């Protein structure tokens, strides 16, 4: 629901700016650092975190849950095949930005 509202207001904003002859500001939202970093996850977890294969989908996770999982992969308290090797490369801030992005995807 919240997501729909955001999307609506984003569209209205775009229209308004188009009227002023300005470029689409979806740019500012869509290609944010969190959104862009999240795209590297799509190769395994599917576009927008929707996997069609054997690797789990990760869209729509509440931010705090994904952050907790990533931290658990990072400190080794949650076993994994490959996620521990990924999680150790990300800072707290990066993990949160990526998690926030996935939480908005439905």
Q: Return residues touching other proteins (CB under 8 A).
A: 23-28, 30-31, 33, 36-37, 39-47, 51-55, 81-82, 85-91, 94
Q: Give the residue with the Cβ less far from other proteins, 9 or 39.
A: 39
DSSP assignment letter at 78: S
DSSP assignment letter at 91: -
Tokens 């775009």, residue? 14
Q: Give the residue with the Cβ less far from other proteins, 9 or 40.
A: 40
| Residue 70 beta carbon to other proteins: minimum distance, rounded to whole angstroms | 12
| Residue 49 beta carbon to other proteins: minimum distance, rounded to whole angstroms | 10
Q: Give the residue with the Cβ less far from other proteins, 1 or 20.
A: 20
DSSP conformation letters of 12-59: HHHHHHHHTTPPPTHHHHHT-HHHHHHGGGHHHH-GGG--SSSSPP-T
């Amino acid at each position: 629901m919240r997501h729909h509202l955001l999307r609506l207001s984003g569209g209205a904003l775009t229209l308004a700016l188009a009227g002023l002859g300005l470029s689409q500001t979806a740019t500012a939202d869509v290609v944010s650092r969190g959104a862009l970093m999240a795209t590297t996850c799509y190769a395994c977890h599917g576009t927008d975190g929707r996997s069609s294969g054997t690797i789990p989908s990760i869209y729509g996770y509440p931010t705090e849950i994904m952050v907790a999982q990533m931290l658990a992969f990072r400190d080794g308290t949650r076993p994994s095949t490959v996620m521990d090797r990924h999680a150790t490369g990300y800072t707290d801030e990066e993990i949160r930005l990526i998690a926030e992005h996935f939480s908005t995807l439905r």
